[in-house]
Amino acid sequence: MMVRLGAVGYLNARPLVWGLERSLRFLLRFDVPSTCASLLHDGAIDIGLIPSIEYLRGGPYAIVPDLAIASRGPVASVLLFTSRPIRDVRSIAMDVSSRTSVALVRVLCAQLFKINPKIEPAGPDLPQMLGRCDAALIIGDNALFQPPNVEHTLPVEVIDLGKAWTDLTGLPFVYAFWAGRPGMLEPGDVEALQRARDAGVAASDDVACAYLRDMPARQVLGMRYLRENIKYHLGAEEQAGLELFYRYAAEINVAPSSDGLRFF
């Protein structure tokens, strides 16, 4: 039987699935991160590239070893736009496409910014979001490809949340990883997913150009983003960052407490 994979449709996920569309073992579909999580929770897919916070909200799940979407420092695609100094922000409009990014904002508000703003869900339309709230969270391609120098055309400061997390903790941040119910993958499946990652990272310029085929003006930015901002390993430091994020999230009741990381 084929393994049903639910992947994220954003550019940053494409190196993880490079070549898997032609696989005879994996049946691949693309969605926004929050939908990947819902599909996995509902049993509609076998393995999902889920927002990391969702590992605590379903399952119990196992994680595919050494595969993640992560950053150390600036990520460039998880951005908080503020219309006033962050210490004065009282409301934030949230792009809810990624539940991890929403949780990260709340953790950073508690741990770093020392504010307790009102949270409002919103579509990723920056002017409308800032018309309603003091700040706006935008993620993924919508954040990465905001107009250049947007802070000069709108009265905003731009805070890169990957950088904010690393400044706070000294650790990488893990946005998403492959997870599913134990027993859904064979050892050869794990190796195939890791090989796909290795091939996708090695061909990251080709990945970006293929994804942005009809948008040549964005290709250079996309290539640089995959090379410089996004990391695809889940090593010891990434796991330490993930476990610290889980502890902080539990402390403010954003998620249940973690009972540890389990792997295939």
- The burial class, CB within 10 Å (0-12 / 13-18 / 19+), for 221 is middle
- pLDDT tens column, 25-47: 999 999 998 899 999 999 999 99
pLDDT in tens, 117-139: 999 999 999 999 999 999 999 99
Domains of the chain: 3-69+173-237 (3.40.190.10), 78-169 (3.40.190.10)
* Average pLDDT estimate for 97-114: 94
> pLDDT category, 152, cuts 50, 70, 90?
low
Q: Which residues pair with 178 in a beta bridge?
A: 49
Q: What percent of the chain has pLDDT over 70?
A: 97
- Euclidean distance between CA atoms 96 and 81, whole angstroms: 15
pLDDT of residue 156 exceeding 80, the answer is no
Nearest CA to 248 among 72, 103, 107? 107
pLDDT over threshold 70, residue 53: yes
What's the pTM value of the predicted model, to 2 decimals? 0.94
Residue 96 has a pLDDT of: 79
| 246 token code pair | 């889980």
Q: What is the pLDDT of residues 235-254, one digit of tens each?
A: 999 999 999 999 999 999 99
pLDDT at 154 over 80: no
The pLDDT value recorded for residue 151 is: 60
Instruction: Check if the beta carbon of residue 16 is closer than 8 Å to that of residue 197.
Output: yes
Please give the structure tokens belonging to residue 113.
């910014």
- Which is it for the CA torsion 239, 245, 249, 250, positive or negative? positive
